[in-house]
Each structure stands twice: as structure tokens, then as C-alpha cells.
């Protein structure tokens, strides 16, 4: 029997709402003897929809379950995991909003100076591979309570995967965590089904057919799938990936695994997947269906509006005193319009986690949240971002549901914008205009990255963007200039960026504003050689660009680019691809992007020499860096102070 939905407090009638319980005293204050579900999170507790584990906790609470949260527990023993007692249904375990290894280490494998998701930005508040550590502690605390993994760390490590920080292939996280189920992707639909079926008395071992979940299977079950693969049946319902042992031993097998996995990511046509790990197998149901746009379609639906109408306090938990959480400062006056991305960039994990189908909120829901933000005590009239994974994909979708459900393309915009993709920015323009009209709203900025190959199709959008929604600088991400490298990234050619740049400059001039687009670039991406980076550096100099924020490529688990980095093979074409593997190689590529900065001149000179472009070392107008070695006569900081 399903748990009935309870009326949700919307921002229109919201009353002060208690934080989720974090300790026994909180349960006593509510008169609860126990909780149904405990969410364990690697992030500090910020009661805001931008924090994934908290969003899931509030969603389950809104569906009638008693939910508590244990944020950043002390993992040295099981005691912290007993803070709320034994949950009746399950532990939900997540590392937080970021993979815990990415959260701690840079691309050069050095410790980061700050943890954006911890109080005061402190580091050391979560363990490495937090999902595994937390799950094992939960098992130690209450051996008979089911454990369900979720969040981006579990999602992107669900199959055998390359781990950049250890430079090894690791097995599915499900085995190391010793959990009962793994929820991948955005988890509202699967986690609700898990909760209500456990509530109805079903054992965890019987929850086998839930979309968006994975679980362990026996040797015999795995053999049955392998036997079916051997028949090469046309109606095969399960795709068998190369085994963990195969992909460890053979990089070509790893590339085939990556390709086969990517082909099964569209919820409309994806088949189940199985992968052997020793004497066990991991079985992956097809991805969960996307959430419905707007308000949804009645009881039983899960819609975008519902999530953002949940009673978030939009505040850091009082347990942290006056310590802020840096990530919250970034989002507290921003509004998310949608989720998902159909860009399919090979280096990005958004598509693998959030899906390719854009799921948008209704205008009414967005305006309700704007009013909630407006009521915050420290709001001074500025909405800092109106966006999402991409600023301008709001309500964009395939023109045909039938075509979309059968499509296996990994990107709707590469190598060109698909003719079946609706690129109408009209609903977004209307929303932007209506948000500006809200009482108390003085400025509405767009800080999310703009997809310029889509924006250039809508002069009206670019005009609105330049005239009303840019605070002097606009973020865009051309990433590179080499066509060969951009193809490996699944990004449009630099000509598209240059067209958008001209449109934006003209629109800014017409609006009487002096403002600029700020391009982001990646160094060290698979396919990019030193020669390609020289080409990029020359383009930057020719166009008067001095990028200060440069991304040194990090191979995130399960991405296509991570496969290229590890194997030296493009899995989509099964052809060789160059990649800068060593830390020094990566550093030299980055130095060429920062050719203008004296702190990087030594590395830039070495890179130019290796690339056979010593002609670019000199003092002439065509040179990138001056001759000589070591630091310039006076340090960079000294010259800055003299200015």
C-alpha cells in the first residue's frame, strides 16, 4: 500500500518550518519515537534545494515519511551514525554535491585550500570515497537496516570506472560499499518507489525492477545474461558490458564498455545493463523517467514544481553558529529554472547524472520562489542567477516525443543543432521579463553559462541578455579553438562563439552598456596537443584575451573524456586519440593558456620549445613570452603594487 501524499506547503502559504531532525533531541521535540529514513550526507546541512541530499530528504518528507539527516558525520566510528536511532526503512547515503575525491584534490592532485560545502570552507570534514566509508559505518551501526546509495559520487561510479586520483580502474562502488541498492541519476522517482514499497512490507531483496537503480546479482544470474548475449538475439533486453576483469586488463575492452554504456542512457529506449565483477554481477535497470514539466499530471506524478515548492528554510542549520557555508553564499539568491542538458560534452558529468531531457519549472513556480527569496532578511534586490546547468535551455526539447524516445544520439547540438530540436527562446525571454517586474527585484543576472550555439539563433534573447541580465561580464565556454579538439569535446566550432560574441557586443552597445563576455577554456583535454595549445594561445593574443580562470582537464568517473584519457582511444569511433597523461604535460598545456602571466613563463617557454615553436619566444609583436629563464627582474606582485 503506497504512502499517501500529504499537502505540501508552497511558498505562497509557507509558514516557518523546522529543520530536518539531526539528533535525538530533535526527534523528541517532534514527538517521534523513530524515523523512517535517515539521509547521510558528506555536505554540511544547508536547507536549500541546491543541496542534493537535502532535496531528496525534503521530497520524501513531503510524501509523508519521517526523515532525518546526519550531515558530515565523524566517520572514525559507527557512533555518529546512531544519532537518530535505527531507521525503520533504510539509510540513504550520499557523498554530497561533489565526488569526494574531486572535492578534495585538484587536477594536479594537490589538496584544495577550501571545501565549498563545509562550514567556514574547512577541509577534512569528510573522508575520501565518502560513499563507501559512510555505507560501511551504517552497516556497522545497524546491520539489518537496508542501505541505499545515491548522489553524484555513486551515480558516476556505478560501473567499472577509471579513477584519476589513484590512476586505477575501480570496480562498481556498489560492491565496495556493500549496499543493497544504488540509485543513479536524479533520484526522486526511484527513491520514492523504494520508500513506499519498503513501507508496504516488501523486503529490500525483492526491489528488483525499479528504474534508475542497480543491485548485485549472483554468478548464475550473470551467466544467464552472458549466455543470452552469446546468442546475439535481436530482441536482447539486457546489454552485457565487458567484465571488470576485462576492462582492467584491456584498454580496448574499457573503451567498448564506455561506448556500450553511453548508448543506453536515453530513458525512452535504454535497455538494462549487466556487468560481471568476479563471481558476482551488477545489474542496472534502465534510467528513471524524467520528471514532468511544471505542475505535473495529478496524483502519482513527480513534477519539477513540487520540488521547489517544498518548505526549505533557505538557510544554514543553526548548529554551525555564525560559520557560513561558501556554496550556499553562491546560490542563496539564485533560482534554478530547469535540470538536464542535451549538450553531451564529453568532459562533463551533467548529462550522465541529470539526463539529456530538459525538465523545466512553470513560470508560476519560479515567481513563487522569487517571492520567497525576496522575503529573506539579507535580500537587497539582486537575483544573482536565473539559470541551471545551462542558462538558455529552458523549455527546449525535441519537436517529436516519438523521435526523442527512439533517438540514440549523445548530443542534440553536435556536430550541429539537430533539426528536430526546438530552439525557441520565447518562453525564457518572457520569464526573464516577468521576473524583472516582480516587486522588490532590482537586478536579475544570469551567471550560468550560456550555450552560444543556441543563443545565436535568438537575437531577441541576446538583446534581453545584454540589456538587462549581464552585470558587466557574461560567462561562456568555447573551451578551445582547434576543430579537432572541439570535436573530441562535442563542442561547436570557434566560429559559432565568434558570431555570438559579435551579437552580444552589438546588443550591449545598443543598450548603452560597456560589458564583455568572459570565455572559459580547458587545457589538457584528450585530443589536445602542445601544438593545439599554441594555436589557442595565438588566438587569445590576437583577440586580446587574458583568461584568468582556466580549467585543467580532470577525468571525472564514467565520462567519455575520462575513457579517452585512460585508454588513448575515442570510444565512439574506436580510434586512437592523443592525451596529455603526465602532470607535467598537463601543466605545460595550462601554461600556454596563461602565456601572459610571468609566473608561468618558464613552463610556457618549455612548452613552446617542445612544440617546435621557439620562434614565439622573444620580444617582438608576434612573441608569446619573452626570452630568458627564471623570474622576471621584479616579481609579478611587485609590479602590481606599483600600478
Q: What is the pLDDT of residues 574-602, one digit of tens each?
A: 999 999 999 999 999 999 999 999 999 99
Check whether 100 has a pLDDT greater than 90: yes
Predicted pLDDT at 352: 82
Query: How many Å apart are CA 460 and CA 173, to the nearest integer?
Result: 46
Percent of the chain residues past pLDDT 90, beyond the cut? 86
Confidence at residue 235, expressed as pLDDT on a 0 to 100 scale: 61
Q: Quote the longest CA-to-CA distance of the chain.
A: 78
The residues facing 339 across adjacent strands are 359
Q: What confidence category does residue 13 fall into, taking pLDDT thresholds of 50, 70 and 90?
A: very low
This prediction has a pTM of: 0.92
Torsion over CA: 68, 72, 74, 75 (sign)? positive
Q: Is the pLDDT of residue 432 over 60?
A: yes
The answer on pLDDT for 10 being more than 70 is no
Q: Which residues pair with 94 in a beta bridge?
A: 41
- With CA atoms as reference, report the closest residue to 501 among 553, 541, 545, 443: 545
- The one-character DSSP state at 287 is P
For residue 186, report the phi and psi dihedrals to the nearest 5 degrees.
-75, 120
Cis ω for the linkage preceding 17 (within 30 of 0): no
Indicate if the pLDDT at residue 643 is higher than 50.
no
Domains of the chain, with CATH numbers?
A: 1-212 (3.40.50.2300), 217-287 (no CATH), 333-504 (3.30.750.210), 524-553+562-643 (no CATH)
Residues 6 or more apart whose Cβ sits within 8 Å of residue 360? 293, 294, 304, 337, 338, 394, 395
Rounded Cα distance, 45 and 119, in Å: 9
Q: Nearest to residue 477, comparing CAs of 405, 531, 525?
A: 525
- How large is the average pLDDT for residues 534-557? 92
What 3-state class would DSSP assign to 421? strand
By three-state DSSP, how is residue 388 classified?
coil
Locate 467 and state its grid cell. 540589456
631: confidence class by pLDDT, cuts 50, 70, 90 = very low
Q: What is the per-residue pLDDT for 232?
A: 59
pLDDT tens for 135-153 read 999 999 999 999 999 999 9
So what's the pLDDT on residue 298?
Answer: 62
- Mean pLDDT of the residues in the chain: 92
Q: Residue 374 and residue 201: Cα distance in Å, rounded? A: 44
C-beta of residue 554 within 8 angstroms of C-beta of residue 102? yes
Could you please report the per-residue DSSP string of 109-166?
A: S-B-S--TTSGGG-S-SS-TTHHHHHHHHHHHH-TTS-EEE-HHHHHHTSSSEEETTT
Mean of pLDDT values over 395-412: 93
Q: Which helix (H) or strand (E) holds 359?
A: strand 359-360
CA distance 63 to 301: 12
**pLDDT average, residue stretch 314-335:** 95
Distance CA 242, CA 376 (A): 52
Residue 516, strand partner residues: 473
Q: Three cell numbers at 627?
A: 626570452
Per-residue buried b or exposed e for 214-224, using 16+ beta carbons within 10 Å of the residue's own CB: bbbbeeeebee
Kindly tell me if the per-residue pLDDT of 338 is higher than 60.
yes
Q: How do residues 466-493 score in pLDDT, each as one tens digit? A: 999 998 889 899 999 999 999 999 999 9
Q: Please tell me the distance from the alpha carbon of residue 73 to that of residue 28, in angstroms, as a whole number.
A: 20
Angle ∠(547,548,550) on CA atoms, nearest 5: 80
What DSSP line would sit under 501-535, residue for residue? HHHHHHHHHHTT---EEEEEEEES-TT--HHHHHH
The strands making up 272-277's β-sheet, listed across from edge to edge, are 67-71, 37-41, 90-94, 147-149, 181-183, 213-217, 280-284, 272-277, 238-241
Amino acid at each position: 500500500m503506497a504512502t499517501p501524499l500529504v499537502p505540501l506547503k508552497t511558498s505562497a502559504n509557507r509558514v516557518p518550518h523546522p529543520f530536518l531532525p539531526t539528533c535525538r533531541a530533535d526527534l523528541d521535540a517532534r514527538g517521534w519515537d523513530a524515523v523512517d529514513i535517515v539521509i547521510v550526507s558528506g555536505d554540511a546541512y544547508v536547507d536549500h534545494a541546491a543541496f542534493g541530499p537535502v532535496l531528496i530528504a525534503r521530497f520524501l518528507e513531503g510524501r509523508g515519511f519521517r526523515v532525518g539527516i546526519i550531515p558530515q558525520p565523524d566517520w572514525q566510528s559507527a557512533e555518529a551514525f546512531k544519532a537518530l536511532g535505527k531507521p525503520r526503512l533504510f539509510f540513504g547515503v550520499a557523498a554530497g554535491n561533489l565526488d569526494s575525491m574531486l572535492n578534495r584534490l585538484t587536477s594536479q592532485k594537490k589538496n584544495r585550500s577550501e571545501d565549498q560545502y563545509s562550514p567556514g570552507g574547512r577541509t577534512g570534514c569528510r573522508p575520501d570515497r565518502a560513499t563507501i566509508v559512510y555505507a560501511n559505518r551504517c552497516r556497522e551501526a545497524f546491520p539489518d537496516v537496508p542501505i541505499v546509495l545515491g548522489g553524484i559520487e555513486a551515480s558516476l561510479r556505478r560501473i567499472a570506472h577509471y579513477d584519476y586520483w589513484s590512476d586505477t580502474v575501480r570496480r562498481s562502488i556498489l560492491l565496495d560499499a556493500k549496499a543493497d541498492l544504488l540509485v543513479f541519476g536524479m533520484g526522486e522517482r526511484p527513491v520514492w518507489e523504494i520508500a513506499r514499497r519498503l513501507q508496504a512490507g516488501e523486503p529490500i531483496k525483492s526491489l528488483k525492477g525499479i528504474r534508475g537503480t542497480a543491485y548485485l546479482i549472483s554468478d548464475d544470474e550473470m551467466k544467464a545474461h552472458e549466455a543470452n548475449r552469446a546468442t546475439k538475439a535481436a530482441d536482447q533486453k539486457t546489454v552485457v558490458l565487458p567484465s571488470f576483469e576485462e576492462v582492467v586488463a584491456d584498454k580496448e575492452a574499457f573503451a567498448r564498455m564506455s561506448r556500450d554504456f553511453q548508448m543506453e542512457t536515453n530513458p525512452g529506449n535504454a535497455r538494462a545493463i549487466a556487468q560481471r565483477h568476479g563471481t558476482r554481477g551488477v545489474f542496472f535497470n534502465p534510467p528513471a523517467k524524467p520528471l514532468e514539466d511544471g505542475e505535473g499530471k495529478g496524483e502519482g506524478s513527480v513534477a519539477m514544481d513540487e520540488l521547489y515548492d517544498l518548505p526549505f528554510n533557505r538557510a544554514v542549520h543553526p548548529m554551525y553558529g555564525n560559520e557560513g557555508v561558501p556554496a550556499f553564499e553562491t546560490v542563496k539568491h539564485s533560482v534554478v529554472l530547469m535540470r538536464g542538458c542535451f549538450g553531451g560534452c564529453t568532459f562533463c558529468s551533467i548529462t550522465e547524472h541529470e539526463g539529456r531531457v530538459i525538465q523545466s519549472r512553470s513560470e508560476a513556480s519560479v515567481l513563487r520562489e522569487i517571492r520567497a527569496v525576496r522575503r529573506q532578511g539579507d535580500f537587497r534586490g539582486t537575483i544573482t542567477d536565473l539559470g541551471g546547468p545551462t542558462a538558455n535551455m529552458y523549455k527546449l526539447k525535441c519537436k517529436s516525443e516519438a523521435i526523442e524516445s527512439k533517438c540514440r544520439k549523445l548530443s542534440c547540438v553536435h556536430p550541429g543543432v539537430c533539426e528536430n530540436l526546438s530552439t525557441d527562446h520565447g518562453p525564457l525571454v518572457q520569464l526573464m521579463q516577468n521576473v524583472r517586474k516582480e516587486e522588490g527585484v532590482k537586478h536579475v543576472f544570469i551567471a550560468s553559462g550560456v550555450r552560444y550555439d543556441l543563443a545565436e539563433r535568438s537575437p531577441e534573447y541576446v538583446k534581453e541578455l545584454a540589456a538587462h541580465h549581464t552585470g558587466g561580464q557574461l560567462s561562456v565556454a568555447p573551451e578551445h579553438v582547434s576543430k579537432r579538439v572541439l570535436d573530441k569535446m562535442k563542442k561547436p566550432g570557434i566560429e559559432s562563439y565568434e558570431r555570438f560574441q559579435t551579437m552580444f557586443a552589438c546588443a550591449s552597445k545598443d543598450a548603452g552598456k560597456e560589458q564583455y563576455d568572459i570565455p572559459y577554456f580547458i587545457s589538457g583535454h584528450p585530443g589536445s596537443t602542445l601544438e593545439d595549445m599554441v594555436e589557442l594561445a595565438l588566438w587569445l593574443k590576437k583577440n586580446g584575451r587574458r583568461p584568468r580562470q582556466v580549467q585543467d582537464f580532470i577525468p571525472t568517473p564514467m565520462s567519455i573524456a575520462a575513457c579517452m584519457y585512460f585508454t588513448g582511444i575515442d570510444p565512439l569511433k574506436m580510434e586512437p586519440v592523443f592525451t596529455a597523461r603526465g602532470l607535467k604535460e598537463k601543466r605545460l598545456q595550462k601554461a600556454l593558456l596563461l602565456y601572459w602571466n610571468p609566473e608561468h613563463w618558464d613552463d610556457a617557454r618549455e612548452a613552446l620549445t617542445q612544440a617546435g615553436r621557439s620562434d614565439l619566444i622573444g620580444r617582438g609583436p608576434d612573441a608569446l613570452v619573452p626570452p630568458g629563464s627564471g623570474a622576471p627582474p621584479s616579481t609579478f606582485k611587485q609590479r602590481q603594487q606599483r600600478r
